[in-house]
């Protein structure tokens, strides 16, 4: 696969973003939703901020208190045996490492704008900050689907009761309407198709089943973008391959002559995140036609390998112009980058899953 990484990569780094509070530092500006708005490319950044700490003997966890409408900062002693601090992203209760008790940073959404898609200017204020109790641990990994003149923005809403997917919408990237939670916990990586198929809206989503099953991709349908049903299991993990740990949708599905092309992320069991592609039937996206055997993009560049949580390429949006796919992607849970790939080359690389 020919991958052209921009010379300007990483395009946005935490150092480019001014923290929205003086007592905080920005540790991530990554996993951005992407949209074309008028003559600008909008990168809706997931900005992760954590409370400044000059004492290594204190680990802090920011939590948004919706009743008081303010951030609270909890403090932990890293030698406290009740908790496990090994994953820099989370604080876990010892003996129950399958779930987290707190996050070490809080994420919200901030706009970066560009005329050329390479040089971005970051808005001085957050675009959307947590506003309700389902968002008290933060807002993560937004995706943007434009339908008519409305941009639907949906994201992981993280709180002590779970990680679900909530949705807001805007027409001008200024005023916001909140539509509540559209997929209950645990669910992430929702990708709403940009148009109806046979009279129905479709969305990919990624539940994390517990009794049986794995973090794999499902598809559901809706009459109105708010009520989702008729869920079907779509795409699974592959033992011993690059996507044998967890998978989830990445960019908004791209309509092509051959079908709906979804650029998805797959992580191995040891948390190396790559991007791959899957082709779904144009008239029935619950049918998988073909899939990548090998990744279309994997962590290789220094900024993709090293960072807050290294070895991660994670796309939440791409822009397509003719044969050129401009895939924007978060790197190492730290910064944003972009690479161009050929649409035809991606399609030709897919291996058919349909019996001849
Ligand atoms: C995982 C990672 C983190 C994220 C949490 C909560 O631990 O994806 O980046 O903050 O889940 O969604």
145-157 residue pLDDT tens: 999 999 999 999 9
**Residues 18-24: contacts with CB under 8 Å, at least 24 apart:** 18/122, 18/124, 19/49, 20/47, 20/49, 20/108, 20/110, 20/125, 20/126, 20/129, 21/49, 21/71, 23/51, 23/52, 24/49, 24/50, 24/51, 24/52, 24/62
Cβ of residue 158 lying under 6 Å from some atom of ligand 1: yes
Architecture of domain 4-352: 5 Propeller (2.115)
Distance 150 CA to ligand 1 centre (A): 28
Asked if 170 contacts 124 with a C-beta cutoff of 8 angstroms, the reply is no
Instruction: Identify the sign of the CA torsion 297, 299, 300, 304.
Output: positive
φ, ψ of residue 163 in degrees (nearest 5): -115, 115
SS3 content of the chain, % helix, strand, coil (to 5): 5, 50, 45
- List Cα–Cα distances, 276 to 88, 301, 321, in angstroms: 26, 17, 19
Q: Which of 30, 103, 155 to mutate to test the pocket of ligand 1 (most atoms within 8 A of CB)?
A: 103
- List Cα–Cα distances, 284 to 232, 289, 327, in angstroms: 12, 10, 25
Residue 163 CA, closest ligand 1 atom number = 12
Distance 278 CA to ligand 1 centre (A): 24
- b (16+ CB within 10 A) / e for 145-175: beeeeebbbbbbbbbeebbbbbbbbbeebee
Q: Which of 47, 140, 183, 271 to mutate to test the pocket of ligand 1 (most atoms within 8 A of CB)?
A: 140
Residue nearest to atom 1 of ligand 1 (CA): 89
pLDDT score, position 98: 86
Q: pLDDT tens digits for 278-314?
A: 999 999 999 999 999 999 999 999 999 999 999 999 9
Cβ of residue 48 lying under 6 Å from some atom of ligand 1: no
Asked if 113 contacts 173 with a C-beta cutoff of 8 angstroms, the reply is no
Residue boundaries of the structural domains of the chain: 4-352
Distance 80 CA to ligand 1 centre (A): 22
Residue 105 CA, closest ligand 1 atom number = 10
Asked if 282 contacts 260 with a C-beta cutoff of 8 angstroms, the reply is yes
pLDDT score, position 56: 85
pLDDT score, position 355: 80
Residues in the chain, pLDDT under 70:
356
pLDDT score, position 54: 84
Q: pTM of the prediction?
A: 0.97
252: DSSP letter? P
Question: In residues, how long is the chain?
Answer: 356
Asked if 263 contacts 296 with a C-beta cutoff of 8 angstroms, the reply is yes
Q: Which of 31, 62, 87, 90 to mutate to test the pocket of ligand 1 (most atoms within 8 A of CB)?
A: 90
Distance 89 CA to ligand 1 centre (A): 7
Cβ of residue 135 lying under 6 Å from some atom of ligand 1: no
């Amino acid at each position: 696969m020919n991958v052209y990484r921009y010379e300007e990569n990483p395009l946005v780094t935490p150092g480019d973003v001014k923290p929205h509070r003086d007592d905080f530092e920005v540790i991530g500006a990554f996993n951005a939703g992407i949209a074309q708005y008028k003559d600008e490319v909008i990168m809706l950044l997931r900005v992760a901020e954590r409370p400044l700490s000059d004492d290594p003997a204190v680990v802090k966890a920011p939590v948004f208190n919706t009743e008081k409408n303010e951030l609270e900062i909890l403090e932990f002693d890293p030698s406290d045996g009740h908790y496990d601090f090994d994953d820099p992203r989370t604080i876990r209760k010892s003996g129950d490492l399958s779930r987290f008790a707190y996050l070490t940073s809080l994420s919200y959404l901030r706009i970066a704008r560009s005329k050329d898609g390479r040089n971005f200017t970051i808005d001085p204020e957050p675009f959307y900050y947590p506003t309700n109790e389902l968002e008290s641990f933060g807002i993560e990994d937004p995706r943007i689907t434009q339908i008519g003149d409305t941009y639907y923005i949906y994201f992981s809403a993280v709180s002590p009761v779970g990680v679900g997917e909530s949705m807001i919408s805007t027409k001008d990237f200024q005023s916001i309407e909140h539509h509540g939670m559209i997929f209950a916990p645990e669910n992430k990586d929702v990708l709403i198709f940009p148009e109806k198929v046979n009279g129905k809206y479709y969305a990919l989503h990624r539940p994390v089943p517990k009794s049986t099953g794995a973090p794999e991709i499902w598809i559901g349908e809706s009459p109105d973008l708010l009520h989702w049903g008729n869920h079907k299991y779509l795409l699974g993990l592959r033992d011993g391959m690059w996507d044998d740990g967890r998978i989830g949708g990445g960019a908004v599905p791209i309509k092509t002559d051959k079908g709906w092309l979804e650029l998805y992320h797959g992580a191995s069991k040891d948390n190396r995140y790559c991007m791959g592609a899957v082709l779904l039937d144009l008239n029935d996206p619950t049918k998988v036609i073909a899939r990548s055997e090998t990744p279309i993009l994997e962590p290789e560049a220094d900024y993709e390998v090293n960072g807050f949580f290294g070895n991660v390429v994670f796309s939440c949006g791409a822009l397509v112009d003719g044969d050129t796919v401009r895939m924007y992607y978060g790197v190492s849970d730290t910064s944003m980058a972009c690479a161009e790939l050929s649409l035809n080359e991606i399609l030709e690389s897919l291996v058919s899953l349909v019996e001849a």
